[in-house]
Structure 1
Amino acid sequence: MTDARQTAAIIGGGVIGGGWAARFLLMGWDVRVHDPDPEAERKIGDVLAGARRALPMLYDVALPDEGTLTFHNSVGEAVTGAAWVQESVPERLDLKHRVFAEIQSHLDPEAVIGSSTSGFKPSELQQGAKDPTQILVTHPFNPVYLLPLVELVPGDTHDPRAVAWAEEVLTGLGMAPLRVRAEIDAHIADRFLEAVWREALWLIKDGIATTAEIDEAIRMGFGLRWAQMGLFETYRIAGGEAGMRHFIEQFGPALAWPWTKLMDVPELDDALIDRIAAQSDAQSGHLSIRELERLRDDNLVAMLRALRQQGSAAGAHLNAHEAQIAPAIADASPLVTVRRTVPVDWTDYNGHMNEGRYGQVFSDAADFVMRLVGADADYIASGLSYFTVETTVKYLAETHAGAPFHVVTQVLEGAGKKLKLYHEMRGEDGTVQATCEQMLIHVSLETRRSCPPRADVEKKVEELAASHGAGA
């Protein structure tokens, strides 16, 4: 399975199936979708529009060229020739069995079938299958195109090669596969969610809290901690210098206290359902689903980018994936030094990109040139580098969150200690949005004063300047 472009089939185009389609498509896979819903194409189009806007903002490089999306009238037509099939039909075991039988009657024996099921075990899904080893649980989290976690549950009947390849594919999509070591109902993450959900139902039924108050308790407190540290690391810190043992000694006895009702579930009768629905309407009913999704996506992008800046948790995962998809450093004409999308955390109260971020863009462009001439990380570690000593930036047109752009750079001067660059930041349609003239001086990091570059770097700078017509 080493084709330059792979094909994925998505069977079931609801919220989760649409998210899978977007994730595969934006990571360069061709995607075939089958869903009997006559509105499937429109609904997936809405999800894809959100993904096209949000996912590129997570990265500081351009995503792979987008694949081709097609819709098909039958399961067989969609899966024929596919290397990966993602099943996302409703949570009915009899329906899934019928779908798997139809898939396997047309599918390449080497292909993998991933199921998005949130509750069924692999052994249940594999019952009566033509080839049980082909079916795995690959349970994602909404929105699939942004959240990296996917629970990979092979089950007892599996082909180790298929599981290894599944991990490779999922990682290549920018996801973080969590191998679940044993079959269990609802896998791992949803068991936590179910526990919180049950307790929340009791808090509402007993009149202790509303939906808004419960959500506020999560998002303003432990939810943010969990996003970066998880459960046990959070509690280890709560134990102070003595660590987890001290935490358990202090708070372990609380497990015997009647704090929760997790072993007792309230009946979801009409009265409780009406109360929850009314409170949720009061909390969020003034926003459409699209508005809520956009708010959610913008918040997640900003949080994940913050974690990227710290190299922590999901941010470290994103940094590693960016290194995989970043283009090779190479000279070209014109020299495109930056190609990316404006992230939401780069915009200000006027709704456009803040002027301080242009400095980041042109700094990144200069870093590209430095790496191109050999002044890379190893060169800097040796004690030599280029410092910017002067910039002149002109702001010519607005740009907004989600807008793709690129920077074209020209070397105006490259001789001795001097490296003078001219950058143009251009929008997707070629409009010049900003320009920057930048002077860099070569320095010794030991003395923090100017000094000549190493001979090989100086030669490359001179050659690049000559190729750009410097001094002509």
Structure 2
Amino acid sequence: MKAAIIGGGVIGGGWAARFLLNGWDVAVFDPDPEAERKISEVLMNARRALPGLYDTALPPEGRLTYHSDLAQSVAGADWVQESVPERLELKHKVLADLMQYAPDEAIIGSSTSGFKPSELNEKGARAIVAHPFNPVYLLPLIELVGDADTCARAADILSGIGMFPLKVRKEIDAHIADRFLEAVWREALWLVKDGIANTEEIDEAIRMGFGLRWAQMGLFETYRVAGGEAGMKHFMAQFGPCLSWPWTKLMDVPEFTDELVDLIADQSDAQSGHMSIRELERLRDDNLVSILRALKARGPGSGAGRVVRDHEADLWHAMTDTTPLRTVARDVPIDWTDYNGHMNEGRYGQVFSDAADRVMAHVGADADYIGSGLSFFTAETNIKYLDECHAGEAVYVDSTVTLGEGKKLRLWHEMRRKADDSLLATCDQFLLHVDLTTRKSCPPRADVEARVETLATLHARGTT
């Protein structure tokens, strides 16, 4: 699969990273002589952050190319994403060229945050709005507006690269999310202009309070909870009248004078000027990975964590009977490191536990088996730590069944660094089969026992 990215700014670079790290070939067209450098910096952050969302490896990266010829960049493309500046006349020109050169079956998406499809296509183009959020390689939301059949095709593709397609029912200026953000932004400008709060205090109000709720529940579900046992109806009855009170100035916009711009810029410099943009991006990415992983870990996944969990399910590689079994392939996430700057020893135990879970699923002791009341419990582990492992490093685990008879299962795991195959840690793990009702050991189901014995025999021979 091939994606062509037209415009290599912040959003275009994020699109390139999202597609590339999910195994697509990516062709970038941007006349800016600095485009390759800028996208390389975005990719550096994306390679550091995105794999940390998942507990298995992303697909092998696609091939990245840069082009000075538009026709060459879109040749053979399955997806073409226009991310040029928000000037309608410029978008019309680019889309007209894309109509000439892009394959007829290719989806043409526009990253526009405000223009409607009817405006984009008023000169004969066939683009849909595919509006992402920065950083595109981490945030799953993508607003789709336009032809229903094209949007349906687009949604399938975007879901396959770990995004959450939100189909907007009717076209409207600025779609859904940016209209909402615009309302908050207008009120924030008034609060600064009127001296009620500075930029840092407004940001603290968001990130220390309702921003944490919104990350998992959004607006209406948050208010439903606020209504207590009586739910949303009670909340609306209690707080609805305040909508007529003069709390906000949402219908007015403060005049963008030089004084207001300087006031906000100076406050922002005082707030964050001690960090470079790249440092702020890395801090943002680290926090987003930790939040998304936390949301992913809750049951079937909460909020955006559900999108990561669903995408991860498609990333796990299929296992066959080999010697040894490749049970884990992943990147070390940012939040697995300790104060010494390397992977915490407890996380080695998690990696080897994940490896054992993969062996269990492979022999038939999967989630349904556990649901039936049977499982394997770890009785003993012996882990040896042989080398340091750091955030962002790709690692893998090879597992061997060294004992498989009756209710006994013994596994030997070797964790290695993908870059040089160096051995990082080993684990000798002994498990017993257990009845989850009595919590006592018992023989496995016959088919599971047979699969374990087959693997043990295969691994004893040391051949695939």
Please classify the TM superposition score into its range, dividing by the shorter chain length. Answer: over 0.9
**Counterpart mapping for 1:17-96 below 5 A:** 17-96=12-91
2:107 counterpart residue number = 112
8 Å CA contact 2:377, 2:432 repeated in 1: yes
- In the superposition, the TM-score normalised over structure 1's length comes to 0.95
Partner residue, 2:6: 11
- How far residue 471 of structure 1 moved from its aligned partner, in angstroms, is 11
| Structure 2 letter corresponding to 1:467 | L
Q: Which residue of the other structure, out of 416, 420, 427, is the alignment partner of 2:410?
A: 420
Which residue of the other structure, out of 392, 398, 405, is the alignment partner of 2:382? 392
Matched residue, 1:188: 176
SS in 1 for 2:426: strand
SS at match of 1:469: helix
- Deviation string, structure 1 residues 447-467 (Cα, Å, up to 9, x no partner): 211111222222211111111
Aligned residue for 1:105, secondary structure, equals helix
Distance 2:91 2:68 in 1: 18
| Equivalent AA in structure 1 for residue 249 of structure 2 | K
Partner residue in 2 for 1:293:
281
The Cα of 1:145 is off from its aligned counterpart by 0.3
- CA shift digits 1:145-184 (9 cap, x unpaired): 0000000001xxx3x4322211111111111010001111
- Secondary structure of the 2:162 match is coil
1:138 aligns with 2:130: yes
Secondary structure at the residue paired with 1:184?
coil
Q: Distance in 1 between matches of 2:429 and 2:84?
A: 55
Contact 2:198 2:267 in 1 (8 A): yes
**Which residue of 2 is the match for residue 153 of structure 1?**
145
Tell me, in whole angstroms, the C-alpha distance in 2 between the residues paired with 1:410 and 1:333.
7
1:167 to 155, 158, 161: 155
Find the aligned partners of 2:72 and 2:66 in 1 and give their Cα distance.
9
1:363 is aligned to: 353
Alignment-mate amino acid for residue 174 of structure 2: A
The whole-number CA distance in structure 2 between the counterparts of 1:455 and 1:98 is 67
- Secondary structure of the residue that 2:31 maps to in structure 1? coil
Give me the whole-angstrom Cα distance separating, in 2, the residues matched to 1:362 and 1:72. 44
Paired residues of 2:323 and 2:458 also in contact (CA < 8 A) = no
CA-to-partner distance for each residue in 1:433-457, whole Å, 9 max, x for gaps? 1111000011111221111122222
What pairs with 1:193-342 in structure 2 (closer than 5 Å)?
Answer: 193-310=181-298, 311-342=301-332
Q: Which amino acid aligns with 1:112?
A: I
Letter in 2 for 1:376: D
The 5-angstrom pairing of residues 434-453 of structure 1 reads 434-453=425-444
Q: Deviations over 1:10-49 (max 9, x none)?
A: 0000000000000011111110000010000010000011
1:287-312: CA deviations, max 9, x gaps?
01111000000000000000001121
**Contact conserved, 2:22 with 2:62, CA < 8 A, in 1?**
yes
The answer to whether the 8 A contact 2:200-2:267 is kept is: yes
Give unpaired runs (5+ residues) of structure 1: 1-5
Partner SS state of residue 402, structure 1: coil
- Find the residue that maps to 1:453 and give its secondary structure: coil
Instruction: For residue 423 of structure 1, report the CA deviation from its aligned partner.
Output: 0.7
Gaps of 5+ in 2: none
The change in CA–CA distance for 1:123 and 1:434 in structure 2 (over 3 A counts) is same
Query: Residues 116 and 24 of structure 1: is their aligned pair in 2 closer, same or farther, counting only changes over 3 Å?
Result: same
1:219-246 deviation digits (Å, cap 9, x = unpaired): 0000111111111111111111111111
Q: CA contact under 8 A between 1:412 and 1:470: conserved in structure 2?
A: no
8 Å CA contact 1:413, 1:471 repeated in 2 = no
Output the amino acid matched with 1:358.
Answer: Y
Is contact 1:85–1:111 with CA below 8 Å preserved after alignment? Answer: yes
Partner Cα separation in structure 2 for residue 241 and residue 456 of structure 1: 48
- Give the secondary-structure state (helix, strand or coil) at the position aligned to 2:101: coil
1:122 aligns with 2:117: yes
Post-superposition offset of 1:470: 7.2
Amino acid at match of 2:398: V
Whether contact under 8 Å (2:403, 2:456) holds in the other structure is yes
Find the aligned partners of 2:321 and 2:392 in 1 and give their Cα distance.
27
Match of 1:3 in 2: none
Tell me, in whole angstroms, the C-alpha distance in 1 between the residues paired with 2:206 and 2:39: 30
Q: Is the 8 A contact 1:385 1:445 kept in 2?
A: yes
Does the 8 A contact of 2:145 with 2:168 survive in 1? yes
Residue 468 (structure 1) aligned with residue 459 (structure 2) = yes
Q: Match for 1:151: what amino acid?
A: E
Q: List per-residue Cα deviations over 1:390-421 (Å, max 9, x = no partner).
A: 00111111112111100011111111221111
- Structure 1's consecutive aligned runs of 4 or more residues displaced over 6 angstroms after TM superposition are none
> Which residue of structure 2 lines up, in the alignment, with residue 383 of structure 1?
373
Question: What displacement does 1:54 show?
Answer: 0.6
Q: Percent identity?
A: 70
Q: Is the 8 A contact 1:336 1:407 kept in 2?
A: yes
**Equivalent residue pairs, number:** 460
Q: What is the alpha-carbon distance in structure 2 between the residues aligned to residue 194 and residue 381 of structure 1? A: 48
| 1:165-222 deviations in Å (ceiling 9; x for gaps) | 1111111111101000111100000011111111111111111111110000000000
Corresponding position of 1:348? 338
Question: 1 CA distance for matches of 2:166 and 2:447?
Answer: 46
Match of 2:424 in 1: 433
Q: CA–CA distance in 2 between the matches of 1:378 and 1:257?
A: 55
Distance 1:341 1:325 in 2: 13
Paired AA for residue 186 in structure 2: R
Secondary structure (helix, strand or coil) at the match of 2:451 reads helix
Distance between the aligned counterparts of 1:328 and 1:263, measured in 2?
Answer: 55
Residue type at the aligned position of 1:393: I
Query: Contact conserved, 1:88 with 1:115, CA < 8 A, in 2?
Result: yes
SS in 1 for 2:229: helix
Matched AA of 2:423: V
